[in-house]
């Protein structure tokens, strides 16, 4: 993440120094995305014996349709880009939430003291799910050729864990993750200053590390892939 920040900062400085003679315009718009959310991780009990029951690995994914809003500033068209495909700096925000998995996972454990009278053996069923929300993206778009552009950015997302039956395993709480966003797409502008974009993007988030109230741990990777269509207006 630090390396990407330095790269983007270098691009901003370079473009600012070489583009002072070029005018630009502000734009506002909306984006609809068909997004695949995928994650894989390992949960380890505090008393990890190395057995399957104390170390559990799972891979999950889910497809979601998400909407976002964006604001950006674009320099006038680069000589190698088509109309509307100038160097652009922007920020987008996706409200709402989406589940990481398309189903809720559960398991049943047997333990002392879980019986009906409180002192005999019994069983308890644990159910777990996670959701992501409040996706933010700060980006730069650079024309590659004609209407084709490439995108690089920094992202942040909130991850909320949802557990039930966790009286003995504890709860994990919520956290935020930073990520690297890369994409490629097509972009243009009409005579009425309507901007359109069609893009494919991938976001690779930092490793998720959580510790429960009973010292169990989760380590997981979270990534997204999206195909998006944006429509906006330049002032």
138 strand-pairing partners? 91, 154
For residue 152, name the pLDDT band (cuts at 50, 70, 90). Answer: very high
Segments making up each domain of the chain, as ranges: 24-234
Best-predicted range by mean pLDDT among 1-15, 69-83, 133-147?
133-147
Query: Please, are residues 184 and 225 in contact by the beta-carbon 8 Å criterion?
Result: no
Rounded to an integer, the average pLDDT of 91-104 is 80
Nearest CA to 127 out of 102, 104, 161, 101 is that of 104
Q: Which residue has the higher pLDDT, 146 or 166?
A: 146
CATH architecture of 24-234: Beta Barrel (2.40)
For residue 119, name the pLDDT band (cuts at 50, 70, 90). Answer: very low
Between strands 208-211 and 217-234, the pairing is antiparallel
Check residue 231 and give its pLDDT: 98
Q: Which residue has the higher pLDDT, 47 or 114?
A: 47
144 strand-pairing partners? none
Contacts of 17 (CB under 8 A, 6+ apart): none
Rounded to an integer, the average pLDDT of 38-50 is 78
Query: Please, are residues 183 and 150 in contact by the beta-carbon 8 Å criterion?
Result: yes
Query: Please, are residues 130 and 109 in contact by the beta-carbon 8 Å criterion?
Result: no
> How many H helices and E strands in the chain?
1, 10
CA separation for the pair 228, 183 (Å, rounded)? 10
Nearest CA to 234 out of 33, 75, 21, 22 is that of 75
Would you mind telling me the total number of residues written for the chain in this entry? 235
Q: For residue range 155-205, what is the model confidence (pLDDT) as tens digits?
A: 999 998 877 655 555 788 889 999 999 999 999 999 999 999 999 999 999
Instruction: Give the pair of three-digit tokens for residue 131.
Output: 């959701």
Nearest CA to 203 out of 160, 130, 140, 153 is that of 153
pLDDT surpasses 50 at 118:
no
Instruction: Give the pair of three-digit tokens for residue 152.
Output: 């690089």
Q: Which residue has the higher pLDDT, 126 or 231?
A: 231
Best-predicted range by mean pLDDT among 7-21, 57-71, 157-171?
57-71
Check residue 89 and give its pLDDT: 95
Q: For residue range 210-234, what is the model confidence (pLDDT) as tens digits?
A: 888 888 888 989 999 999 999 999 9
Check residue 78 and give its pLDDT: 74
């Amino acid at each position: 993440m630090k390396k990407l920040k330095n790269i983007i900062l270098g691009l901003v400085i370079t473009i600012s120094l070489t583009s002072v003679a070029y005018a630009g315009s502000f734009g506002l718009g909306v984006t609809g995305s068909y997004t695949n959310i995928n994650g894989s991780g390992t949960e380890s009990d505090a008393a990890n014996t190395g057995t399957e029951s104390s170390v559990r690995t799972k891979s999950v994914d889910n497809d979601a349709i998400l909407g976002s809003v964006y604001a950006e500033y674009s320099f006038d068209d680069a000589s190698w880009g088509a109309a509307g495909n100038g160097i652009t700096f922007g920020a987008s925000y996706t409200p709402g939430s989406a589940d990481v998995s398309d189903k809720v996972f559960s398991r049943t454990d047997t333990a002392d003291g879980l019986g009906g009278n409180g002192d005999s053996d019994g069983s308890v069923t644990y159910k777990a799910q996670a959701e992501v929300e409040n996706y933010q993206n700060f980006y730069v778009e650079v024309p590659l050729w004609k209407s084709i552009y490439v995108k690089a950015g920094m992202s942040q997302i909130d991850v909320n864990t949802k557990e039930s039956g966790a009286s003995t395993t504890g709860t994990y709480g919520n956290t935020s993750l930073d990520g690297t966003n890369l994409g490629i797409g097509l972009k243009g502008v009409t005579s009425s200053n309507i901007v359109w974009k069609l893009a494919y993007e991938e976001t690779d988030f930092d490793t998720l590390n959580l510790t429960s109230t009973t010292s169990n741990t989760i380590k997981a990777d979270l990534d997204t892939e999206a195909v998006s269509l944006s429509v906006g207006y330049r002032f």
